[in-house]
């Protein structure tokens, strides 16, 4: 045996001490690691049960036992899987085996996330995620209500254009009565045309004015419903019950928004603007002379041109209102807590992190243990068994040898005790024969 085999170098001695120290730590850690793994598996199973229960609509005994069975299966699966990995992966020496078990660890982690972690997240943040869904729905309804109200007010603003056109024709009618328009005072053919269009515009103006209180009433009712919906979003109590009341309010609000969209007068003004020049009933010219009738005819032609211009102006204003994008159709779709957690996952990152960590934390322990075992092997590599023995190991070996010697001595004595009588009997028989 070489000198190196009898005397350790400083680096070898340091590596051996480190390996023995790490082994001592692992012995102590092994005393509670299975219990800790069991606690994590049970905790994950409990949250999995809560998540499964939120998905099952039936609340009977069968649903209860189904949720319990699933959660128990998850707990057992997590415990068994990580127990395998904690024992096998750190002990793997070949690169192929280590890589293979590492891939198995990642695949198993994905399976655990699929069967447990998302349900844990549903249990941790399911109610908050559903409330987030309610809040987003309220925001969508509010945007639709405000846009419908804006369109309605834009339609009401057309009333000022109609008023301007009516006042213009009233002014022309007043000029015609005084003779400043056609040169003939009185209420002749031109005056009747102007009064006809004035009445049409006045009727249109009245119809627009009638819609104003309806729009304001609908908008106020919609805001009141929105207030109740917001209150349901943050009210205490089970979110499932609040969702039912929220759904009823959303149906009412959808009806209010639909009515508000129908109160817009833009389409009415657009049709009236198109009919304004087309619905002129030309009266018979009543001038006393051909010169007066020619003046009336010329004035009526000017009035018709004015009608065309006013009609085009009203039509453009109405088309601008009609061109406003209508509010996007909004409807409340009830959602389960698990679906809500997935849909709004970005808003509940801490809950997702906690739900995944409770399942995958043992994976960190697996790789910590693998690194520690590699360090232990590295400290012992190249050393013989004699060089790695400590004083305690030597004492244990000596005690074991003593126990073996004692056991062997007792066995020899027993054999001697059993064989001695037979030997004596054989000797006496031989003497008697001689």
Q: Are residues 284 and 164 in the same domain?
A: yes
Among 47-61, 112-126, 372-386, the range scoring the smallest mean pLDDT is: 372-386
Compute the average pLDDT of residues 173-187: 61
Compute the average pLDDT of residues 158-173: 76
Name the more confident of 100 and 173. 100
Q: Are residues 136 and 273 in the same domain?
A: yes
Q: Are residues 142 and 209 in the same domain?
A: yes
Say whether pLDDT at 434 is over 60.
no
Residue 431: pLDDT band (50, 70, 90) is low
For the chain, percent of residues with pLDDT exceeding 70 = 70
Residue 296 confidence (pLDDT) = 56
**Domain contains 225:** yes
CB-count burial class (<10 Å; 0-12, 13-18, 19+) for 46 = middle
Residue 224 confidence (pLDDT) = 92
**Domain contains 344:** no
Say whether pLDDT at 257 is over 70.
yes
**Domain contains 307:** yes
Average pLDDT, the chain: 76
101: left (phi over 0), alpha (psi -120 to 50) or beta: alpha
Q: Are residues 320 and 208 in the same domain?
A: yes
CB atoms within 10 A of CB 408: 10
Residue 158 confidence (pLDDT) = 77
Domain that holds residue 399: 389-434
Q: Which of 197, 57, 44 is nearest to 122 (CA)?
A: 44
Give the integer Cα–Cα distance in Å for 425 and 423. 5
Compute the average pLDDT of residues 308-316: 76
What's the structural domain count of the chain? Answer: 3
Dihedral sign, Cα of residue 71, residue 76, residue 82, residue 85: negative
**Domain contains 342:** no
Say whether pLDDT at 6 is over 50.
no
Say whether pLDDT at 191 is over 60.
yes
């Amino acid at each position: 045996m070489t000198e190196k085999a009898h005397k350790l170098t400083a680096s070898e001695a340091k590596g051996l001490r480190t390996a023995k120290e790490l082994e001592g730590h692992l012995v102590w850690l092994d005393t509670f690691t299975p219990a800790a793994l069991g606690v994590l598996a049970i905790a994950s199973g409990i949250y999995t049960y809560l998540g499964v229960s939120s998905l099952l609509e039936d609340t009977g005994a069968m649903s209860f036992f189904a949720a319990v069975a699933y959660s128990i299966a998850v707990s057992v699966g997590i415990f068994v899987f990580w127990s395998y990995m904690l024992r096998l992966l750190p002990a793997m020496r070949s690169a192929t085996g280590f890589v293979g078990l590492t891939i198995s660890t990642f695949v198993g982690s994905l399976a655990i996330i699929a069967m447990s972690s998302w349900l844990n997240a549903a249990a941790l943040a399911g109610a908050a995620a559903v409330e987030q869904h309610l809040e987003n729905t309220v925001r969508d309804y509010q945007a639709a209500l405000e846009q419908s109200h804006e369109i309605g007010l834009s339609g009401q603003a057309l009333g000022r254009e109609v008023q301007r056109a009516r006042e213009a024709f009233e002014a022309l009618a007043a000029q015609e009565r005084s003779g400043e328009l056609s040169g003939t005072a009185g209420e002749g053919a031109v005056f009747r045309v102007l009064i006809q269009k004035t009445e049409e515009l006045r009727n249109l103006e009245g119809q627009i004015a009638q819609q104003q209180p309806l729009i304001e009433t609908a908008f106020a009712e919609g805001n009141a419903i929105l207030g109740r919906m917001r209150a349901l979003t943050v009210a205490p109590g089970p979110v499932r019950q609040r969702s039912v009341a929220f759904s009823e309010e959303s149906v009412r609000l959808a009806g209010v928004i639909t009515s508000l969209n129908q109160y817009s007068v833009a389409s009415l003004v657009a049709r009236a603007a198109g009919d304004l020049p087309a619905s002129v009933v030309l009266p018979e010219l009543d001038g006393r002379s051909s010169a007066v009738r020619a003046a009336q005819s010329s004035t009526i032609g000017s009035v018709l041109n004015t009608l065309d211009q006013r009609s085009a102006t009203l039509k453009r204003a109405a088309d601008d209102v009609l061109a406003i994008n209508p509010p996007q159709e909004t409807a409340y779709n009830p959602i389960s807590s698990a679906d809500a957690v997935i849909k709004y996952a970005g808003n509940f990152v801490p809950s997702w992190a906690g739900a995944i960590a409770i399942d995958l934390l043992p994976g960190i322990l697996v790789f910590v243990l693998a690194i520690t075992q590699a360090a232990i092997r590295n400290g012992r590599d190249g050393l013989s068994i004699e060089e790695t023995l400590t004083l305690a190991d030597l004492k244990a070996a000596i005690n074991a040898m003593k126990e073996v010697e004692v056991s062997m001595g007792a066995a020899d004595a027993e054999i001697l005790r059993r064989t001695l009588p037979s030997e004596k009997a054989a000797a006496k028989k031989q003497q008697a024969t001689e």
